[in-house]
Amino acid sequence: MASLITCPHCGTRPKEEFSIRGAAAPKRPSPAAKDEVWHRYVYIRDNPKGRILEYWHHVAGCRRWLVVDRDNFTHEVFGVMDASDFERARVVE
Amino acid sequence: MRYSALSILKQALSGNRLWQPAWREPQPKPHYDVIIVGGGGHGLSTAYNLAKEFGITNVAVIEKGYIGSGNVGRNTTIIRSNYLLEGNNPFYEFSLKLWEGLERDFNYNAMVSQRGIVNLFHSDGQRDDYARRGNGMRMHGVDAELLDREQVRKMMPYLNFDHARFPILGGLYQKRAGTVRHDAVAWGYARGADQRGVDIIQHCEVTGIRRENGLVVGVETTKGFIGCNRLALAAAGNTTTVGRMADLDLPIETHVLQAFVSEGLKPVIDHVITYGAGHFYISQSDKGGLVFGAEIDFYSSYAQRGNLQTVEHTMEEGVSLIPGLSRAKVLRSWGGVMDMSMDGSPIIDRTPIDNLYLNCGWCYGGFKATPASGFCFAHLIAKNETHHVSRFMRLDRFERGYMIDEAGKGPQPNLH
């Protein structure tokens, strides 16, 4: 049930320690991007059933932003990484 | 058969052998004027209203489970119209008025009980906020009353008034709010629609939406292709899954909300109460069970079951508000999947495809809206014209900047 999350900095911790922001897939556009692009980023969601990347904040631990890779139907957790690593990997893509 | 005291007497004298099923179980016809995807409260209410109010009876409701298996049977049964905003209040008040006449209208006992709702406040700032909401309601002609601490104490002496951190200072009271037996709402609408010729097709899942020349011509289902002139989606919880079949871009995330029922107790709570310091709400069913719930689970979920952290949090909130609750045992809990929209308000609108209509984004406030949602959606489908009370609930309001953000939370679906 995604009750335990393995934080890359703190180890396996209970869900209570985290605050969840939401989907990590939308990529922040440049400030100069058109309204339509910003609208998609802010409001439109893929909302897949199954595997999803989400921003979690380890508020009661290291206070780092994390990206949790999990299944939103079975609640299986596949992996957790620091959000800065996630963004860096995305830039390289 | 029309239900009445006389019909019950007749059945009793004939040993209850003559009862008929409340609706048929038809096989799908090859073509319908209107197909509604989703046999939940809103889909059934839409079908009922299409047939009764707008004279369109060649209609099918396609449901992947059985009637009453989704969110219409997974909520905490509360009805109310205590909204602040122009985009919401007249719609929910229209709904409450329909609730008031519903049982006579569809000839079914839905146990509509206007026992009143009290939204408790716990600080001076919250009192001001609730007073503003109450004034907003009264300006729309809706009943609202601001109660002080002693008035609340008289009604609900069992609350924890002297909580060290969240003392109860009073409440916003809407007398006409209350509860309804949710299963009976699904059954009443299903029976009413069926009697007027609507086909309710259960255990039939839509797997694709077939389009030709930019228009919908029908749906692929597990029972084969079914054609239609107009297609209406009322599949909240799975809106994205169905919407993707028609390439719709949607401002929706799916989340799970849990609800709980205690063992049957003697009458103790005779109102609906909401806790202003948390997000806890509670009422007592006519069978005696305390029906309560709190927030969603905060992460996106398509599973109809929730996590234990939220269970614990809900119980903590409940005991904090009503210490005596700690002695009651929880009998059952369940989860339902919700369309959480980006401003916490629903969508009843056309789509970029001319004969495809959309009803979604009810967050976790959809039950109280069932009659008005069905009426307004049927109005839109039948006349291709928006009903005036749902005119703010547009799909394009996000890009146009006309959000209906009752809670002022911004585009963060798990906070609404």
- Tokens 């009264």 correspond to what residue? B138
Give B354-400 pLDDT, tens digit per residue.
999 999 999 999 999 999 999 999 999 999 999 999 999 999 999 99
The pLDDT, as a whole number, for residue A92 is 67
Provide the percentage of residues in chain A whose pLDDT is more than 70. 96
Whether residue A93 has pLDDT greater than 70: no
Q: Which two tokens stand for residue B254?
A: 């799916």
**Who's near B69: CB < 8 A, 6+ residues apart?**
none
Residues of chain B neighbouring A3 (CB-CB closer than 8 A)? 307-309
Closest of B256, B381, B364, B351 to residue B309, by C-alpha: B256
Closest Cβ–Cβ partner in B240, B252, B298 for A20: B298
Whether residue A2 has pLDDT greater than 80: no
Contact B299 A16 (CB under 8 A): no
Closest Cβ–Cβ partner in B252, B298, B308 for A47: B252
How far is the alpha carbon of B237 from chain A, nearest alpha carbon, in Å?
Answer: 11
Q: Measured between alpha carbons, how far is B145 from B174 in angstroms, rounded to an integer? A: 7
Residues of chain B neighbouring A44 (CB-CB closer than 8 A)? 249-251
Report the relative pairing of strands B59-62 and B199-201 from DSSP bridges.
parallel
Q: Measured between alpha carbons, how far is B352 from A87 in angstroms, rounded to an integer? A: 34
Give A17-61 pLDDT, tens digit per residue.
999 999 999 999 999 999 999 999 999 999 999 999 999 999 999
How far is the alpha carbon of B303 from chain A, nearest alpha carbon, in Å?
Answer: 5
Distances (CA, A) of A77 to A24, B253, B312: 15, 19, 22
Contact A45 B241 (CB under 8 A): no
Q: Measured between alpha carbons, how far is B398 from B24 in angstroms, rounded to an integer? A: 41
Contact B253 A14 (CB under 8 A): no
The pLDDT, as a whole number, for residue B145 is 98
Residues of chain B with pLDDT under 50: none
Residues of chain B neighbouring A2 (CB-CB closer than 8 A)? 299, 307
Closest Cβ–Cβ partner in A36, A43, A74 for B251: A43
**Who's near A58: CB < 8 A, 6+ residues apart?**
A7, A9, A10, A13, A17, A18, A64, A65, A66
The pLDDT, as a whole number, for residue B12 is 94
Q: Band of the pLDDT at A68, cuts 50, 70, 90?
A: very high
**For residue B255, what is the nearest residue in chain A, using CA coordinates?**
A72
Closest Cβ–Cβ partner in B240, B308, B411 for A47: B240
The pLDDT, as a whole number, for residue B166 is 96
Contact B309 A3 (CB under 8 A): yes
Whether residue A91 has pLDDT greater than 90: no
The pLDDT, as a whole number, for residue A3 is 82
Whether chain B has a CB inside 8 Å of the CB on A20: the answer is yes
Quote the mean pLDDT of chain A: 94
Q: Say what the pTM is.
A: 0.96
- Name the DSSP class of B279: S
Whether residue A1 has pLDDT greater than 60: no
The pLDDT, as a whole number, for residue B391 is 97
Q: Does the ipTM surpass 0.90?
A: yes
The pLDDT, as a whole number, for residue B262 is 97
Q: Measured between alpha carbons, how far is A29 from B377 in angstroms, rounded to an integer? A: 36
Whether chain B has a CB inside 8 Å of the CB on A40: the answer is yes
Contact B254 A21 (CB under 8 A): no
**Who's near A38: CB < 8 A, 6+ residues apart?**
A29
Whether chain B has a CB inside 8 Å of the CB on A69: the answer is no
Given phi > 0 = left and psi -120 to 50 = alpha, else beta, which region is A75?
left
Whether chain A has a CB inside 8 Å of the CB on B299: the answer is yes
Residues of chain B neighbouring A77 (CB-CB closer than 8 A)? none
**For residue B308, what is the nearest residue in chain A, using CA coordinates?**
A3
Contact A20 B241 (CB under 8 A): no
Structural domains of chain B sorted by starting position, each given as residue range(s) with its CATH number in brackets: 27-78+182-252+343-415 (3.50.50.60), 113-176+253-340 (3.30.9.10)
Whether chain A has a CB inside 8 Å of the CB on B300: the answer is yes
Which CATH fold topology does A4-26+33-92 show? Folate-binding fold (3.30.2270)
Torsion sign across C-alpha atoms B239, B241, B246, B249: positive
The domain locations on chain A are 4-26+33-92
The pLDDT, as a whole number, for residue A90 is 87
Residues of chain B neighbouring A16 (CB-CB closer than 8 A)? 309
Whether chain A has a CB inside 8 Å of the CB on B301: the answer is yes
